[in-house]
Amino acid sequence: MTHCHPDHIGGLLDAENRRVFNVADIVLHPLEAQHWLDDEQFTLADERGKRNFRLVRQTLEAYAGKVSFLNDENIAEAIMPVWLPGHTPGHTGFLIESECTSLLIWGDIVHYPHIQLAQPTVSILFDNDPVQAKETRMKILEHAVNEKLIIAGMHLGQRGFSFIHKEENGYCIAYIN
């Protein structure tokens, strides 16, 4: 999982809170689990936030014994986790390396690509730590341009894959047809 917001984990349970994918394992950044299991963070959250915490907790419970945590190693051959904190504490991208062009599945680095690429300092309400999210966004955008990575995200707009190009002030998105 890139992170545990409801639009990313919402399909893992059925209506009775039972796990949907019986042979699946969940792989998460340890800080992501720590955040959602933290009672202090739960208390600080508003009602909507508390609903998110409950969903994560029910999901981790339903998949108990099938959850493992990322370390600095590859998940599988040529699939490398990339910690991209800020949107959530354990927000993680996955770099799928190939000899020619590599693919970075970057989760929720942006929600409104046209705005946040032109102005990478713009954060969204759902960014848990807006300052850290901004720093991460700026760093990974630069990296994506330099390495000519293909980007896949969950809020990229019209198409699933794109390149990032640098502009005079900021960046722009170039969807791959």
Q: Which of 7, 25, 38, 61 binds Zn ion (CB under 5 A)?
A: 7
Rounded distance between C-alpha atoms, residue 18 and residue 13, angstroms: 5
By the rule CB under 5 A, 5 interacts with Zn ion = yes
From residue 60, give the alpha-carbon distance in Å to each of 3, 17, 105, 166, 175.
12, 11, 22, 39, 35
Residue 127-156 contact track with Zn ion, rule CB under 5 A, x = bound: ---------------------------x--
Identity of the residue, 82 or 97, whose beta carbon is nearer to Zn ion in the bound complex: 82
Size of the site for Zn ion (CB under 5 A): 4
- Cα 141 to Cα 52, 62, 66, 107: the distances in Å are 28, 36, 33, 13
By the rule CB under 5 A, 14 interacts with Zn ion: no
Please choose, out of 26-34, 71-79, 108-116, 141-149, the segment that lies near Zn ion by the rule CB under 5 A: 108-116
Per CB under 5 A, the segment of 2-10, 62-70, 144-152, 161-169 that binds Zn ion is 2-10
Q: Does 108 bind Zn ion (CB under 5 A)?
A: yes
Q: Which residue is nearest to Zn ion (CB)?
A: 5
Residue ranges in contact with Zn ion by CB under 5 A = 5, 7, 108, 154
